[in-house]
Structure 1
């Protein structure tokens, strides 16, 4: 009581301060669910749909709870399960600010919430629970698991250069060239339907099926989610939502309606890599355009002094444990990745 009297705060003031904060949290976390149901779509508009593995095409993603059986340890340096559960990936499906933005997006374009759910809870999206597009069909587990272990460890390179994921016409997340350019961005993921988990090492000894994946050593792997493009803006907005207008014939520009139906194959997302349209976030593109993405970890000593600190120092220190001066243990070159 002495403490509160010193601050001149009464019990009544404390009560209303707490009540105000509770009200704010209810507004941010709960109200968006109710407001978005007014606009939620039960069918995803073709303007929102994008290439990659589609809902219902794979069914073998396992819960992170199963991964905990082996990947939880008391090691303070490497505790994979513990670190994941404290990460933004784990919380991606239950962030109240995220759900508030979904509600706003739904009010702007009915059905756009599917794009948000696709990134933030891939397991629920692949299971077909992104409709209604306000997220009301998602389970508690969908939200709690966010970007789960299997989301990443079942990913294959969409250019089909290595392991082959499930991609059916017209949802092919590459340009069809030889070699193909993969579509990296907006969670246009190519997901394997095999039981094996994919990872960057050739000498793993897990208690489950596994395969080595070079894609999991590539910086493009991170770009699969960390470049975000809006396919609606990319097809319908002036300048396609980018600095450079898309080439004629690579987008449609017309809204699909009952009176004036359009073809999904003519939409911008099905004829262009994500970085060309609908700019929302370009975290990966900015990284890849910089010199750091081209810098070998083994060249750490050549970096300017002010860069030999923080995350770069931590990455170099961890990589050096392999005993190859920063390269992978098998001698493969390692770059400073995301």
Structure 2
């Protein structure tokens, strides 16, 4: 059984940061993470962002629920009240997360109105106060995820100041999305693509902060690109590329962690997810809540379109069960059998 005590967690998560899957709202829920963990044993997974207010004042056991097989798993919190973040961190510590991460990168209007996310890059001292309060509430690593700047900030001076303030506050690692966030004039979706990427700026920051671990994020679409970034950073974080083409995660353990275990096959993953879906259905979870994360598993294979259609349409029917997943698998197996015959 894996040891997830705080001391073991620090070692485990430090290694896992070499490759991580980004926190993505509405996507990296516990069903998505279960799928991703079937594909990679080693990578660090992240929850969706959850606000400290929701954890402290809501049903924290529901918000912080996860399957132990998801470890190593980081919780991403959003907030700007040090006392509230400390209280949420204590609950996260109790729940057993391997790392607690503070969101200083999300640019949505809803996040700004709550005074957290990317707008906090303008208030590094407040973020540092939050980090210190969180660190006092746990012995697990406390990290920050940020952008290279916001709006008209100078990305050299302001990012150096922000990062050095985090370092002084005792942050365990810094994840940097290599784009600015424009808080006015761009939607969250536009903020993921329109501001230009500046990877060299992140590389320079890593040299400045060493030996503090610095992990790079933003626009990394392939494992080849991820490997190239590792020449300049301590780790890489993939988001939408990993979500839309999850089978690429099957190569991560061998390529990034030197693991010799056999990479999972599509058939193996589908059967494991069918078993998982049936267990979830017994708890009242509808099949589509699980299947929606699996649409990209067959990308690039003959029959992939029918695979997606079966999972996206049939899984939404009220009586849908795991047989839907097996029908989807047959859609990509049939062309292979036809070629072999």
Taking structure 1 as the reference length, the TM-score comes to: 0.26
> Which structure has greater helix proportion?
2
Higher Cα radius of gyration: 1
- Higher percent of residues as strand: 2
- TM-score normalised per structure 2: 0.25
